[in-house]
Amino acid sequence: MNAERVEEVIAALDRGELRVAEPDGDEWRVNPEAQEAILEYFRLREMQPQEVGPFEYHDKIPLKRDYARLGVRVVPPAVARYGAFLSPGVVMMPSYVNIGAWVGPRTMVDTWATVGSGAQIGADVHLAGGVGIGGVLEPPGARPVIVEDGAFIGSRSILTEGVRVGAGAVLGPNVSLTSSVPIIDVTGSDPVEHRGFVPPRAIVVPGTRPKAFPAGTYHLACALIIGWRSESTDLKVSLNEALREHGLGA
């Protein structure tokens, strides 16, 4: 990919005209060219100093700008990189959004939350304090982390390796998911296991399950689906209220 095309793709990502991944019916379609352009952009750019008021940076990627025109609230010292797209109504508390990420309308990126390269965050999502959304750019074609509309991701939760969280799902604090961590629905008479996907409106908490090793039996991390958000639940219901319905709230 030549340098001119790379600049065109990054500019389109920054404007939201192009996305690293986008909905395609019930699935998501990845744009490998966008991922390749981001990687090539890093190779093409030179390190340079950047000054923002009293802050000084030394990096290859420019900072995103013009937040008033975009209708985005950015609380110091929050940072978004050029090539990330922030929709109208997004609120960034002191947090970080990386190049290639797409953040939907009215979403809250709370204090010390991070949104990695290429991650796709829907509308009306709340990424609570300290949430870590991992970046995925390679190999080209790999699905990024996806959090769909109306989801609530609890404090210090971590999502990596292309995990997809369905619309309206609620993750309790400290839920850590990768493509291989079991997500077990324990609401029925028999467990139902998912990997890499949290079903829409599921309420999820951290869990463990035993596994036998030559040295003995130890408990490995998993996640448990303990209930489902009711259709009557307001989209802005707090995490405590959702967990309290299932006997886990404070």
- Indicate whether 250 belongs to any domain: no
What confidence category does residue 246 fall into, taking pLDDT thresholds of 50, 70 and 90? low
CATH for 27: 2.160.10.10
pLDDT of residue 129: 97
Q: What is the pLDDT of residue 71?
A: 98
69 within domain boundaries: yes
- Structurally, the chain folds into a number of domains equal to 1
Per-residue pLDDT at 233 exceeds 90: no
Q: Quick check: is 55 in a domain?
A: no
In a domain? residue 54 = no
**What is the enclosing helix (H) or strand (E) of 227?**
strand 216-228
pLDDT, tens digit, 9 for 90 and up, residues 133-189: 999 998 889 999 999 999 999 999 999 999 999 999 999 999 999 999 999 999 999
* Mean of per-residue pLDDT scores for the chain: 93
Angle between the N-to-C axes of helices 32-44 and 3-15, in degrees from 0 to 180, rounded to the nearest 10: 110
Instruction: Find the mean pLDDT for residues 203-232.
Output: 94
The DSSP 8-state label assigned to residue 146 in this structure reads E
pLDDT surpassing 80 at residue 9: yes
Q: What's the domain range around 162?
A: 3-49+60-244
What's the rounded Cα separation, in Å, for the pair 211 and 199? 25
Whole-angstrom distance, CA of residue 224 vs CA of residue 2: 47
CB atoms within 10 A of CB 140: 15
**Which pLDDT score, from 0 to 100, does residue 119 have?**
98
Instruction: Give a yes or no: residue 215 inside a domain.
Output: yes
Q: Does residue 32 fall inside a structural domain? A: yes
pLDDT tens-digit series, residues 24-77: 999 999 999 999 999 999 999 999 998 888 889 999 999 999 999 999 999 999
* Domain presence at residue 249: no
What DSSP designation does 60 have?
A: S
Residue 224 has pLDDT above 60, yes or no: yes
Q: Is the pLDDT of residue 232 over 60?
A: no
> Residues near 97 by Cβ (< 8 Å), separated by ≥ 6?
64, 79, 80, 81, 84, 86, 103, 109, 114, 115
CA distance 229 to 239: 11
pLDDT in tens, 85-122: 999 999 999 999 999 999 999 999 999 999 999 999 99
- For β-strands 192-195 and 85-86, DSSP reports them as unpaired
The verdict on residue 155 lying in a domain is yes
* pLDDT above 60: residue 214: yes
Q: What is the pLDDT of residue 230?
A: 81
Residue 16: pLDDT band (50, 70, 90) is very high
